[in-house]
Amino acid sequence: MTVTARLDGVPVAILTLSDTVARGQGTDTSGEVIASALVALGARIVRREVLEDDRDAISRALIQYADEDRVALILTTGGSGFSPRDVTPEATLAVCDRLAPGLVEAARMRTLERTPLAMLSRAVAGIRGKTLVINLPGSPKAVQEWLEILLPVLPHAVQMAGGDAGVWGRDHRLGSG
């Protein structure tokens, strides 16, 4: 994966949703995968938290990160499958002003080429104010696969969500001027 755009200094929050990890019975491996990838692009991790699969608690955290901490990007991991406790998409939809469906649609479609289980993801993406929120899967392998797809466009997506449309007329193909 070649990512030419960077997230230098961009404030980011990572939210892991897992009953097991929140109880101290597991390790936040997926959150670590996300943190490593973002730090490598120059992002500044402002918040990193693990919560149980609780819709209200997730929504409150997303609101705090966007409205009070003023992060530009929130990546969640976990809680987006078919289990009755998987409520991350609902919590995300409850707090976002606008949807950004293309991001998760692209990730689902590309990872579907590797595994039919990709179609079981209920992940969503949206914008609250000027903060981009994206749900990622819960497994470290799936997180890595989704990041390979999303990282090349994240700097531009964050810039646009923040109100900076960039320079009109510029070639928007990845890796170009």
The reported pLDDT for the residue numbered 167 is 56
Kindly state whether residue 173 falls inside one of the protein's structural domains. no
The reported pLDDT for the residue numbered 4 is 61
Nearest residue to 61 via CA among 23, 30, 27, 15 = 15
Kindly state whether residue 3 falls inside one of the protein's structural domains. no
Q: Which residues of the chain carry a pLDDT beneath 50? A: 1, 169, 172-173, 175-177
Kindly state whether residue 169 falls inside one of the protein's structural domains. no
Kindly state whether residue 57 falls inside one of the protein's structural domains. yes
Q: What b/e sequence results for 106-141 when a residue is b if at least 16 CB atoms lie within 10 Å of its CB, and e otherwise? A: ebbeebeeeeeebeebbbbbbbbebbbbbbbbbbbe
The reported pLDDT for the residue numbered 81 is 96
Kindly state whether residue 6 falls inside one of the protein's structural domains. no
Kindly state whether residue 145 falls inside one of the protein's structural domains. yes
Q: How many structural domains comprise the chain? A: 1
The reported pLDDT for the residue numbered 5 is 77
> Tell me, what DSSP letter sits at residue 25?
S
Could you give the CA distance from residue 90 to residue 96 in angstroms, rounded to a whole number?
Answer: 10
Could you give the CA distance from residue 100 to residue 120 in angstroms, rounded to a whole number?
Answer: 19
CATH code, 122: 3.40.980.10
The reported pLDDT for the residue numbered 166 is 62
Kindly state whether residue 174 falls inside one of the protein's structural domains. no
Could you give the CA distance from residue 144 to residue 20 in angstroms, rounded to a whole number?
Answer: 21
Tell me if 31 sits within 8 A of 14, measured CB to CB.
yes
Kindly state whether residue 175 falls inside one of the protein's structural domains. no
Residue span of the structural domain in which 27 resides? 11-161
Could you give the CA distance from residue 80 to residue 69 in angstroms, rounded to a whole number?
Answer: 24
